[in-house]
């Protein structure tokens, strides 16, 4: 069973561990701890059968949501966990005007995920990523009070 829960003082290290496993330039444990006192931050942890399996981190400022990161551990992928994380966030922040994110140009899985939620490609950022260097696709979803 998949459960989505807010990140808190008990589970933020598990979120940082998923980040470290999935990204070449991860946010530190300390950064996730500091996010707990950031009023603009919303971070969700996904549990799969009680085990930490994925997370989603966004900031919401004046109705504009920006996605910092979403990741699911390899052994828990393709089970609808990223979809459940995005659904939870879009439901909780349904009053927002828009959601924006960057994604590596080669990241077909993530791009397909975002397109399935109605995100549209609105631009590119050249050499946005390091390790390895790669362009980013900029994607936006206009909310209109819907998920």
Contact residues for ligand COA (CB under 6 A)? 22, 69-72, 77-83, 103, 107-110, 112-113, 116
Q: Return the number of the residue (1 or 9) whose C-beta is nearest ligand COA.
A: 1
Contact status, residue 55 vs residue 39, Cβ threshold 8 Å: no
* CA atoms of 142 and 147, how far apart (whole Å): 10
Residues pairing with 58 in the sheet? 42, 67
Task: List C-alpha distances in Å: 57 to 109, 126, 127, 132, 133.
Answer: 18, 23, 23, 22, 23
User: Is residue 114 among the annotated active site residues?
Assistant: yes
Q: Return the number of the residue (131 or 145) whose C-beta is nearest ligand COA.
A: 131
Shortest distance, position 115 Cβ to ligand COA, whole Å:
7
Q: Return the number of the residue (35 or 95) whose C-beta is nearest ligand COA.
A: 35
User: Is residue 102 among the annotated active site residues?
Assistant: yes
Active-site residue (options: 29, 64, 92, 102): 102
């Amino acid at each position: 069973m998949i459960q989505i829960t807010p990140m808190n003082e008990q589970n933020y290290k598990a979120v940082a561990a998923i980040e470290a496993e999935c990204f070449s330039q991860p946010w530190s444990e300390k950064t996730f701890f500091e996010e707990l006192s950031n009023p603009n931050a919303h971070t969700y942890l996904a549990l799969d059968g009680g085990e930490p399996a994925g997370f989603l981190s966004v900031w919401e400022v004046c109705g504009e949501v920006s996605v910092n990161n979403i990741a699911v551990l390899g052994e828990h992928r393709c089970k609808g966990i990223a979809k459940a994380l995005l659904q939870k966030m879009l439901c909780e922040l349904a009053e927002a005007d828009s959601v924006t994110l960057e994604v590596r140009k080669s990241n077909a899985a993530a791009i397909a995920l975002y397109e399935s939620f109605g995100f549209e490609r609105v631009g590119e950022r050249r050499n946005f990523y390091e390790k390895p260097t790669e362009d980013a696709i900029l994607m936006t979803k206009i909310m209109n009070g819907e998920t």
